[in-house]
Structure 1
Amino acid sequence: MGKRHDESIRWLLNELNLNDVVTPEEYSHQYDAILIEMFKKSPAMPGAERLVRHLIQKGIPVALCTGSCSRTFPTKLDNHRDWIELIKLQVLSGDDPEVKFGKPHPDPFLVTMRRFPKVPEHAGRVLVFEDSYNGVLSALEAGMQCVMVPERTIYDPETDTEFKSRVTLVLDSLEHFKPEDFGLPAYD
């Protein structure tokens, strides 16, 4: 859900009282092997490739800020490398040394914003697309606009009025995103 890899593993083992059964390193090794196999079959979020190609073609600065780590992210790209590699600024907050706290803390997005060649005047000028609750909280805590596109109905923003009042927009699919609603060039 966007947290740093090592932080998530320690939390999980603690919550399940497994600290005496497996070390975080052993669990991480097994977890990474399973994750890598799953990534080989993972489709892109519908509408993501179109949006990325559109923004880049129109000269809009884009970045990728993921909770993934450098061990597993290259495999995650395998089926999508041709368009993901168009995004030159990529922050893998799962093990990026400058990201002290993972999502839901604002660090991942603030680090990403500071790495733009032309740093935005203020965080409110940054539009984030997120599929996880912790990712949305991270963007909001950083003071950024956020479009949530939940992949599954793990979280229903309709039932959390405080969350709903803070998130900029919730969409069922990126295919429904209208760039012009955010002052961006419309799709051709």
Structure 2
Amino acid sequence: MSPRVEYVLFDLDGLLIDSEAIYTAVTNEILAPYGCEMTWEIKAGLMGKNEQAAAAHLFAALPPIALTPEAYLVQRRGLQDQRWPRVQLLPGAAKLIAHLHSHGIPMAIATGSNRAEFKLKTAHLSVTFGVFGENVVCADDPRMYGRKSKPAPDVFLQAAQLLGRGEGEGSKGLVFEDAIPGVQAAVAAGMNVVWIPDPRLQQVAGADTTPVVPPETRRLASLEDFKPEEYGLPPYSAP
């Protein structure tokens, strides 16, 4: 029986919005002139990392090319920024957020995106993201200076603080994540976790994901499969 939770934290990329499709398309557009491709075998190892760590992992997996990780990131940011205003919500995201908001459940977003990226990714989806108000923690926020990125728990602890939750209240929180480092971060914060991995990640990683995902983590195929009442949250209204 899952514990009753009192607040909910969301990751952003690959969980609420379909940003992974843009990340993949842009990266392979940049790599194509060098005869390289970011396969899902490579991508599985960089999901959930900050952009510097992800770039380092990518270039370590590629053959030597006449492109530095720094130059790659500059190109990637420019191409992504053009496409973020068209990114779409993933199935179940709008329904779940609207439902929790209508019942007054405290919510926050904890993302590895920087603040400018977050605005580009969400401004056109204001009906959904507007309900969070200031309850958003981004990687470049002053409150994250000196803090560690996922899989460290810092970003989730900071998000919980925005909701007035202090030490010892992690067990009252529920985190939704798609990436393994994010799952590990939520577990390290002492919070309950619902893991919604990209199905393509599972096809690649298979059993390799099992040792690094705690057994108590609830795994779902989609946000559409989440049943709020299983965590003591108000159930959806009958159709």
TM-score norm. by structure 2 comes to 0.68
Please give the alpha-carbon distance, in whole angstroms, between the structure 2 residues aligned to 1:15 and 1:74. Answer: 31
What residue number does 2:50 align with?
A: 4
Tell me the equivalent position of 1:166: 215
Structure 1 contact 149–171 (Cα < 8 Å) conserved: yes
The answer to whether the Cα contact below 8 Å between 2:55 and 2:69 also exists between their aligned partners in 1 is no
1: CA distance between counterparts of 2:178 and 2:232?
A: 22
**Number of matched pairs:** 186
1:33–1:69 distance in 2 versus 1, CA, 3 Å? same
- Which letter maps to 1:101? K
1:63 is paired with a residue of what secondary structure?
strand
Q: CA deviation at 1:138?
A: 1.1
Q: Please state how far the C-alpha of 1:163 moved relative to its aligned partner.
A: 4.1
Q: Does 1:31 align with 2:66?
A: no
**How far off is 1:133 after superposition?**
1.4
Q: Is the 8 A contact 1:136 1:167 kept in 2?
A: no
Deviation, structure 1 residue 105: 1.3
Contact kept, 8 Å, 2:92 with 2:224, in 1: the verdict is yes
Specify the alignment match of 2:232 in structure 1.
183
Structure 2 equivalent of residue 130 of structure 1: 177
Amino acid at match of 2:156: F
Gaps in structure 1 of 5+ consecutive residues: none
1:14-163 map, 5 Å: 16=62, 21-22=67-68, 24=70, 26-88=71-133, 89-93=135-139, 95-99=140-144, 100-119=147-166, 121-155=168-202, 159=207, 160-163=209-212
Q: CA deviation at 1:72?
A: 1.4
* Structure 2: stretches of 5+ with no match in the other structure: 1-46
Distance in 1, Cα, partners of 2:87 & 2:64: 29
CA distance in 1, matches of 2:111, 2:232: 25
Structure 1 Cα separation of the partners of residues 212 and 165 of structure 2 = 30
Distance 2:199 2:82 in 1: 20
Q: Per-residue CA shift, 1:41-90, capped at 9, x if unaligned?
A: 32211111111111111011000111111231111113312211111200
Partner Cα distance (1:121, 1:45) in 2: 32
Secondary structure (helix, strand or coil) at the match of 1:102 reads coil
Between Structure 1 and Structure 2, the one with more helix by share is: 2
Higher relative contact order (CA 8 A, sep 6+): 2
The one-letter amino acid paired with 1:183 is: G
C-alpha distance in 2 between matches for 1:76 and 1:141 = 28
